[in-house]
Chains A and B, each alone.
Chain A
Amino acid sequence: MTQYLVRRLGQGLVVLFLVSLLTFFLINLAPGGPSSLVDISTTVAERNARYALYGLDRPVHERYVAWLGGAVTGDLGTSINQGLPVSRLLMQRLGATVVLALTALVLAAGFGVLLGIVAAMNPNRWPDHVVSTVATLGMSVPNFWLGIIAIIVFAVELRWLPASGIVSIGRGADLIDRLRHLVLPASVLAFGLMPNVVRVTRSAVLETKATDYVRTARSKGLPDGKVMRKHMLRNALVPITAMIGLITTVLFSGSVVIESVFGYAGIGRLAIEAANGRDYPVILGVTMLAGTVVVVVNLVVDMLYAVIDPRIRHG
């Protein structure tokens, strides 16, 4: 187990290293890269001063090594537009995104598993059709458009919920207020993620339904609810967990757009601000953070397999 953990950790680090290599060189070698930030019409001395300020006076591989050295110790450089350390900007925004993402994940997993079970218990009958229609809609309707429609309906017309932000101005510590701001973005985000969970749950439950041990449990006279909980769900849990690991990536991409729709000041919003303002150190930092989270989540999911299903032994 320990050996497996170490190996997986190593693989994760290699992937992260490659992510950093890819993003750093993509950004720095592109024609519109950081060097284009320096105004060509200025004098040579001014230009050189700027290059030196951004560290552009050194060759790109040296800059990469310096950046990587800093990144390992948590120093991701300084934002060009805001003049603050990138790591500080990330930490300021991380909390909001984690709250939004976790809420969406819980909603998506909860409703997804529930609907998946309903569909699998009634294959090819109307509940199954309804669920698959909802799931296909969730996959097809643009998430940000759903967000806009939700704002029109619930904020503009009905005035039930706030249209944007994390808190109302002047109500910093009000929990109810925070939750009211969370409802729309989290539900919209969850609606887009749910179809994946539904699909996997449905096929996993359908598969266990046909197994001998479920038939045995049934013929012993075990009530349906117990068969579902103890025999079917338990076995379906591995593919469902795997899917939840997978959708973390989707979740991150989705939150970039959704945070912009709802003016929610998280990591995604930071990424868009940085992209529009060509703030390269921030883009690099945000991408590395996202990559790290994905790698860590996948590692945790891998570990969870062994907990959920004792037959899986990582050797």
Chain B
Amino acid sequence: MAEVLVRTASAPLPRRSRFLGRVLRQPLGLVAFTVLVLLVLLVVFGPAFLSHSPTRTNPLQTLQPPSAEHWLGTDELGRDVFARIVHGGRVSLSVGLFSMLVGLFIGVAVGGSAGYFGGRTENVLMRVVDTFMAIPTFFLILVIVTSFGNHPVTIVFTVGLGFWAQMARSVHAEFKRFKTAEFVEASRALGSHHLRLMVRHILPQVMPQAIVLATLGVGWSILTEAGLSYLGLGIQPPLASWGNMLQNAQAYLFRAPVLAVWPGLFIAITVLAFNVLGNALRDVLDPRG
């Protein structure tokens, strides 16, 4: 009830800024957003300031503890762990974001068409969605990676493919709901073609919910890429990613357990921030949830 009162009492603002503004007014949403901004700044501008290369090995300085020279110490080949975290973060964050975009795009296109056109189109498309939902994601990803190799671009598409079906399902329901809405009918009566109706009129209604799913999807994609790289099937060394750093670290659990801590901590903080932000967005959209 209080929520309703606050909402009606607040001054009318442009729609978009009100949406993000309300998320940032939640303490948790604000913290998550700040953490993500800092992380992005770190991986975008960090490499310019690093004095160590993430790939240069040094056989005289392996498995060093943290020091002024090496902030997080060195790994089994004498590489600077902090430099690898920053460069690995570039890879992990980009894979997460681009995979999400792939999943978002396919999901909205397929789910939207199914919901909008209905009938046979809907039947066929939704069976395809069901099929993708029935294969445990990781197996589908294994199949694709073994057949198409593990080029980073392949990884992005593969992880995105693991996520689009869920997006399609939710978008499908929303398109179905809105296709007979009065404002859509009105525009149709004015002679708008299908694409215009879908993109200009229905999509904006569906977008907030898709954004929530997409935000959670970035976290999921980062986790999946990390798992894949940890298993040796994702991003390949010497290119660092948070996942393949953990793969190396497991071999040295007894001698240098701390090596296994840093990459995982960065993954956890990043994914946590995306999930908290996603939940904050959801709370704003649906206070009952």
Query: Out of A137, A141, A149, which one reaches B260, CB within 8 Å?
Result: A149
Which of A25-33, A180-188, A217-225, A230-238 forms contacts with chain B?
A25-33
A290 at the interface (CB under 8 A from B): yes
Query: Out of B135, B142, B267, B275, which one reaches A275, CB within 8 Å?
Result: B142
Query: Are A32 and B231 in contact, with the CB atoms below 8 A?
Result: no
Binary interface profile of B, 126-166, with partner A (CB < 8 Å = 1, else 0)? 01101101111111101111111100000000000000000
Residue of A nearest to B289 (CB): A203
Binary interface profile of B, 80-110, with partner A (CB < 8 Å = 1, else 0)? 0000000000000000000000000000000
| In the complex, chain A residues whose CB is within 8 Å of the CB of B267 | 142, 145
B227 at the interface (CB under 8 A from A): yes
Query: Are A31 and B148 in contact, with the CB atoms below 8 A?
Result: yes
Binary interface profile of A, 11-23, with partner B (CB < 8 Å = 1, else 0)? 1001110110011
A211 to chain B, nearest CB (A): 15
B31 to chain A, nearest CB (A): 12
Most chain B beta-carbon contacts within 10 A, residue among A140, A144, A250, A252: A140
A134 at the interface (CB under 8 A from B): no
Query: Out of A141, A156, A283, which one reaches B143, CB within 8 Å?
Result: A283
| In the complex, chain B residues whose CB is within 8 Å of the CB of A96 | none
Residue of A nearest to B141 (CB): A253
Residue of B nearest to A252 (CB): B136
Residue of B nearest to A151 (CB): B253
Instruction: Report the Cα distance A286→B136, complex, angstroms.
Output: 11
A87 at the interface (CB under 8 A from B): no
Residue of A nearest to B274 (CB): A140
Query: Are A149 and B226 in contact, with the CB atoms below 8 A?
Result: no
Instruction: Report the Cα distance A90→B267, complex, angstroms.
Output: 33
Query: Out of A143, A275, A295, which one reaches B134, CB within 8 Å?
Result: A295
| In the complex, chain B residues whose CB is within 8 Å of the CB of A33 | 147
Main secondary structure of the interface of B (DSSP, over half): helix
Residue of B nearest to A136 (CB): B275
| In the complex, chain B residues whose CB is within 8 Å of the CB of A11 | 130
B174 to chain A, nearest CB (A): 19
Query: Out of A137, A152, A253, which one reaches B136, CB within 8 Å?
Result: A253
Query: Are B134 and A140 in contact, with the CB atoms below 8 A?
Result: no
B45 at the interface (CB under 8 A from A): no
Binary interface profile of B, 249-272, with partner A (CB < 8 Å = 1, else 0)? 110011001001101100110011
A256 at the interface (CB under 8 A from B): yes
B43 at the interface (CB under 8 A from A): no
B268 to chain A, nearest CB (A): 5
Query: Are B268 and A15 in contact, with the CB atoms below 8 A?
Result: no
Instruction: Report the Cα distance A139→B267, complex, angstroms.
Output: 12
Main secondary structure of the interface of A (DSSP, over half): helix
B223 at the interface (CB under 8 A from A): yes
Query: Out of B134, B142, B144, B227, which one reaches A15, CB within 8 Å?
Result: B134
Query: Are B139 and A252 in contact, with the CB atoms below 8 A?
Result: yes
Residues of chain A in range 113-168 having any CB-CB distance to chain B below 8 Å: 136-137, 139-146, 148-149, 151-152, 156
Query: Out of B127, B136, B231, B279, which one reaches A272, CB within 8 Å?
Result: B231
Residues of chain A in range 271-289 having any CB-CB distance to chain B below 8 Å: 271-272, 274-276, 278, 280, 283-284, 286-287
Query: Are B131 and A19 in contact, with the CB atoms below 8 A?
Result: yes
A249 at the interface (CB under 8 A from B): yes
Residue of B nearest to A30 (CB): B147
Instruction: Report the Cα distance A16→B145, complex, angstroms.
Output: 21
B184 at the interface (CB under 8 A from A): no
Query: Out of B133, B145, B233, B279, which one reaches A136, CB within 8 Å?
Result: B279
Instruction: Report the Cα distance A278→B289, complex, angstroms.
Output: 45
B242 to chain A, nearest CB (A): 9
Residues of chain B in range 209-257 having any CB-CB distance to chain A below 8 Å: 219, 223, 226-227, 230-233, 246, 249-250, 253-254, 257
Instruction: Report the Cα distance A20→B234, complex, angstroms.
Output: 24
A293 to chain B, nearest CB (A): 9
Most chain B beta-carbon contacts within 10 A, residue among A16, A27, A249, A253: A253
B276 at the interface (CB under 8 A from A): yes
> In the complex where A136-B279, A139-B275 touch, is A290 in contact with B136 (Cβ < 8 A)?
yes
Query: Are A291 and B253 in contact, with the CB atoms below 8 A?
Result: no
B254 to chain A, nearest CB (A): 6
Most chain B beta-carbon contacts within 10 A, residue among A16, A144, A250, A274: A144
Residues of chain B in range 54-89 having any CB-CB distance to chain A below 8 Å: none
A78 at the interface (CB under 8 A from B): no
A79 at the interface (CB under 8 A from B): no
Residues of chain A in range 11-65 having any CB-CB distance to chain B below 8 Å: 11, 14-16, 18-19, 22-23, 26-27, 30-33
Residue of A nearest to B28 (CB): A136
> In the complex where A27-B147, A136-B275 touch, is A144 in contact with B227 (Cβ < 8 A)?
yes
Query: Are A145 and B232 in contact, with the CB atoms below 8 A?
Result: no
Instruction: Report the Cα distance A31→B154, complex, angstroms.
Output: 13
Query: Out of A30, A203, A249, A271, which one reaches B142, CB within 8 Å?
Result: A271
Query: Out of A22, A137, A249, A286, which one reaches B137, CB within 8 Å?
Result: A249
New A-B contacts (7) at CB < 8 Å, excluding given A19-B135, A140-B275, A144-B227 = A18-B130, A27-B143, A27-B146, A136-B275, A139-B275, A261-B250, A275-B145
Q: List 23 A-B contacts (CB under 8 A).
A: A15-B130, A23-B135, A30-B148, A140-B223, A142-B227, A142-B264, A145-B267, A148-B249, A148-B250, A148-B260, A152-B253, A152-B257, A152-B260, A156-B253, A203-B289, A252-B139, A256-B136, A257-B230, A257-B231, A272-B231, A275-B231, A290-B136, A295-B134
